[in-house]
Structure 1
Amino acid sequence: MATSAALDDQPGHVIDALELEVAAQMLAEDYQSESLVGRLISHYKILALIGRGGMGEVYLAQDTKLKRSVALKLLLAELTRDEDRVRRFEQEACAASALNHPNILTIYEIGQTDFAHFIATEYIDGITLRAALTPPPLHLANEAAISNKQMKIGEVLDMAVQIASALVAAHGAGIVHRDIKPENIMVRADALVKVLDFGLAKLTEEQSSAVNTEASTKRVFNTAQGVVLGTPRYMSPEQARGLPVNARTDIWSFGCVLYEMVAGCAPFEGATVSDQIAAVLEREPLPLVRYREEVPAELQRIISKALRKDKEERYQTIQDMAVDLRSLKQELEFEAKLERTTQPYSSGGRSLARSDSQRAVGTAAEITALTRAVETSRTGTSSAEYLVSEIKRHKRGAMIAFITLVISGISFGLYKLINANKPAAPSFETMKIAKLSFTGKATNAAISLDGRYVVHTVDEGGEQSLWIRQVATLSTVKIVPPAEVVYRGATFSPDGDYVYYVMFERNNLVTTLYQVPVLGGTPRRVIDGVDSVVTFSPDGKHLAFVRNYADWEETALIVANTDGTGEQKLATRKQPDSLKRGNAIGPAWSPDGKTIACVVRGFAGGSSDTVIEVEVEGGAEKSLTSQRWSNAGQVAWLGNGSGLIIAAAAEQSSGVSQLWYVSRQGGRVHRVTNDPNSYQGVSLTKDFSTLATVQSERISDVWVASMENSSRATQITSGSGKSAASWTSDGRIVYSSNAGGNDDVWMMNADGTDQKQLTTHPGADRHPSVCSGGRYVVFTYERAGSSNIWRMDLNGGNLKQLTNGRSERFPLCSPDGQWVIFQNGTNKGSASKVSIDG
């Protein structure tokens, strides 16, 4: 079936007296619209009737001038005596023609002949969303690919993001549609969505500048209060009452459509128009899980928020709703990718299997993931425009004509990994993953020993807060309000009554341990100078942590009473070696209470991390394993003490942290996860059946924008994370990418074509910078725990190591190309330089 517009021929449409009169006249006169087939209206030849409704009829026509198919919407002569109807007809064309968006029907022309008023639009070869939600008749079986009564969640979100994008454009131009429903949404065979029929659209008082420039030519039709226009089952409460409406009425209607796409039925049903309006005003829709068990809770939250009867409690802008939908779509795609790509290892080389029932689980606290690409902000300024404006304010290093913009984001997802079989020793052969967060902002997670709660921080708008999530119900409680602080991490007390968290104020780098009741209360200061996540003795009487002493000269493992008294050093390390500390990093007290496991960074033969065990009585140390990692983080004991789990990045890797199991007997190491994303922190329940961790995905692409017109930024890459782009003298771009599974230096044309890999080191090649003159590229080469500055020719040849320290990064060439300036981490992060010749 091919159609181009959806008309109000469905049950429940509000039919006015004029429509009844016209209908009677059409029946009485045996009106035959098909008689128009073959006639010429202006320069459009009528080919076939597509559909009809209260506003007129839609025909497939041929544009005889441009030789293209169009949809021709006619307001027939019988209807033109009603001035309001003519005004609405013209208004539809004016409203829609003010918009230029791929998800909005394109208006070609509005005109009038002696025979009829008409609107010529693009012809959409597809079906309405209504048809897609209805099983097709047998003769349309070939369209079954886009006709499915109960859509997959991924399909729902894909369409929803497109519809929301169309409404963002319309509302941005000051246009409210006021009749969003499945009949006014079309789906092409390639799944492109089009929003159409702006016949009830209203131009709001605050129009965008794009609309204001044509304000004198527009006919603005404001519906009088008390006049009800729209389709009852999709009307907002204020619209059903005949009250003035704004953009939030479209948000309500869109929520109704989303609900129906998921559930297969409208949220507000009724046998008559009055019943439907009563349902809109008085009843709440059933939870979506009543229709489909697999519905993510985050999708339920989004739809429920859109369907708040009080418009002040609804989404205030469609942009906010669009961001949430896009974030959920990305998170589900991310999880699907995780399912496809994660092939963890276990003993004997067997891969970890996932449960077929694995699915995403969201919560009511979720907001949005970090951006995959440049998105328009609520103030109308894109991220690209903002970055360019910042570059213009800080012109050092800015290019003369163009600049490459790299938008990087780390999208964090909070997970619990469940070993359903609870074996005496971990096999990791059968696990399922339940996602607990969709915000992209959850970090520093820990699970209580009984598995009832997960604590984590949320970073939003430059402020961090602490949240408790009840695992069984997925409800959340904010236990420490947002503030300009940085959290190191949090731990539950063994009895589960308190959360102990470490944080510091942004203007004061002194880290402090606090205690707060698990469901919120007044935090109590415990100890200053705590530089790691804390761990508790099994009896709950003592805690341990790592402290960094003045001038970075010594780190120590400290044991103290839980009230902060009785501190004593149990183990120390002098620089350059150290006991690891930082965000989501800390020691772990063994279940038998006899030892504490710590991560140690050593510099013998290059920096690397390993795990040691320190006896609580006496402080004797021993290595738990001979395994070395380039970067290791939090460790967590299994409840029976047979081994521990650690989040760490392998040596000779690109720094992506995975989960590893270390056996206490013999120090054998097995990799638990194996995917392209990183894991931060790890904690286990007492029976080690459940593990909580934070998974991060690096999402970044390269954009190019003119310095004179930042609004026209163009994305030239997609896919694996890109970073550190630099122009060559002939207009190509050198950048770092993990497209090959490892961080390497690549080069491409300014339009993103002809991407070539320049380096193939087993470690990570990062921070490339092209020297003036265009002969050399300098970059950071990281391997075996060390990072040095290297140089190569622009074609990737003639590699040369320029420095030999332990921690040298971020190279830049001097303007004359004779020197390379870099950050020297060995010398406390100061700037150093080396000759381009080494």
Structure 2
Amino acid sequence: LQIAQALEEAHDKGIVHRDLKPQNIKASSEGRAKVLDFGLAKAMDATGSGSSAADFARSPTILNSPTLTAVHGTQLGVILGTAAYMAPEQARGAAVDKRADIWAFGVVLYEMLTGRSLFAGPTVSDTLAGVLKSEIDWRALPAGTPVAIRSLLRRCLERNAKNRLHDIADARIVLDEVLGGGPEEVLPLAAEARPAARTRGWTWGLAAGALGVGLGLGALAFRAAAPPEVATQGAAVHAEFEIATPLATTMVSGLALSSDGRQLAFVARGKDGRTALWVRALGSTEAKELPGTVDARFPFWSPDGRRLGFFAQRRLKVIDLLGGSPRVVAETGSTQDARGGAWSADDRIVFAPTFTGTLFVIPASGGEAVPASRIPAGTDIGTQRFPSFLPDGERFLFFASTGTGIEPGTAYLGRLGSLEAKRLGPVTSSAFYAAPGFLIFVQGDALVAQRFDDGKEELVGDTLSLGVSLPGSVSVSGQRSLAVSANGVLAYRADKRNGTRLVWVDRRGVESGQLNDDDRNWHYAPVLSPDGKRVAVSYYEVGATSGGIWIHDLARRYSTRLTNGESGDDTLPVWSPDGRELAFGRVGPAGTSGIYRMDVGRPGSESRWFSDDGFLAPSAWLTDGTGLLEQRFDASGRGSIWWRSLATQAPPKLLGSEQASEWGAVATLDGRWIAYASDATGRMEVYVRRLDEPSNSPVRVSIDGGVSPAWRGDGRELFYVDDGGRIVAVPFEPSDPPQIGVGVPLFQGGLEEAADRQFDVTADGQRFLLNRNFASPGEPIRVVLGWRERLQQGPQR
């Protein structure tokens, strides 16, 4: 449509392009298609009649054109233009007018719809012969192509210029009407037409949208040769284009395509470090930020494409795209801990409220959330996440794993109304159904498809490569930047640089340096040693799904790996009071999880200290060495804080509420006070309480939500992360009862997984070590229409 508009404007000014082709159609900075390179253009006379090539052969712009051009002094009969897109009269060297541009427009449109070159031959002579004599294969057009578009193409590609469409404005009107959603007539499929050409109306809409605006999004790829048989049974239209990151944002994971493949939702992070939902209609050149979606993660569509579900501010929310503010559907333990959702045909939402345990289901209008699955008997499965529905809206796929990070995940098939699920096979990421009868998922770093027998509910045959590598997604959670619509539109983003930075900032948030130079790797839970000279942190290399413990020596600027992550996922390290040892949590195969202890001077010397059936990690090692605060999570994802005496063999004691979910406990140096986060009020808030007198009631510190507390060295100031991701400082007087001052937001943290310990503070409270997100703005989203054309092809960049 925009190409037609550009030609119309040129023709209205009396200019004929004469070299219209895909290479001369580019994108403006605003994302609109522009027709460039008027090196062969000519001006029409006052009557709009044509002129022969001899009249223009002396033009200096023509002499320097990169296409077939005139030699100085050449007379009538010269050929100018690009052979495959020349009008017949142009190929003969005869007089041309604006109808030559209309022919070229028709060729471009035909090639976009069919995915094949119309006239290209092995030599220029063969190509020109095709332009002049070859019959056009109208059967190659998708069966879903509207009658109006078929008729337009025939009129544009009429070899007799007198019978050809005379004005590009007429083409623009036809395209505008079809894209505007007018009555859609489809010709019956001819008996001799190929089965591969059978498509539905959406195929035309997307292809036309890609033609009209896709060039404003990036490169369009066309495949002329048919791939293997399995690839030719899908949509006849194959096109690829890119969606750039919105201005002043960086892209983060969280792609979601509506079921009809017309709308793409994604999460982007602004300059303030906070995320928000954006929606891009694939027939548009603009993405729009959805108001009220600050801190959003993991979007998913309603079946009708009118609403979006997402997680933000520790809640499952829904927003109507027609207007209105997001509404809360359910409380979750943490926005960061939630692991995706999916919307059923009967208006229910299956979701993972936390990073451990099973899936739950709740009415989209709100209500009680009940289990949607259970942990399969006889397995070490510890987490189920990222559901997606099959077309029937009743059965759903989900990703499950032991949570150790050292074993591949597994795709399961669940069903509403039943807690049982069927194992499908090993996967590295969540899987999506793509009609007809495929599952698409990541295996290793490769994007693959595998046939799915709907009746038997099982995967069939080998995986087939889509020629896409997705390295560096660091998919600890099992999610990749990948989305597939029910009708087979594919969107993905290769997160080649999507890690975290360990950065130093002052109380104003001004950066003063960083510990790591490689932004592709991922860190978790940094903690300063008692003397402030070293940093312990969980470290995930590019593509790894389990982490090891590393130590950074701040003075020597040297890093040492203590564990390699091969035995389990090692996380949440804490220092011993003398700084000689570390304790950390390990999630590993059955019988190996628990709290481990090691001498920091002897890498690989770890041994299990304490064990538990669920998730168990240290939270704080008391300064006097007499006790350990422990963090546990049960199968439902509920967190709890425990106190373990190291001076006796007594069993650990629960601190806090048995009903609330609580975690992140840290203690003052004197061991009298602890701070922690709890959802006792239905929202995560920071509390303090006496550790030496556990019977005392907790005192709330935060006002508008809070997690991840940290003490100043003297225990007279407490820091935490609020709901907006800001670091807040609160004066604290350790009296009885304690005197708590007014919290002051210091700066935007931009932290990774802020619900856990993702920052630490120096003893004087003046410098902060932050584990900040880093996502490169340079990696666009790539959209593929007719993805089966990619099957068994070679790697794509």
Q: TM-score range by the shorter chain?
A: 0.3 to 0.5
Higher helix content, 1 or 2: 1
What is the TM-score of this pair, normalised by structure 1?
A: 0.35
User: TM-score with structure 2 length normalisation?
Assistant: 0.37
Tell me: higher relative CO, structure 1 or 2? Use CA pairs within 8 A at least 6 residues apart. Answer: 2
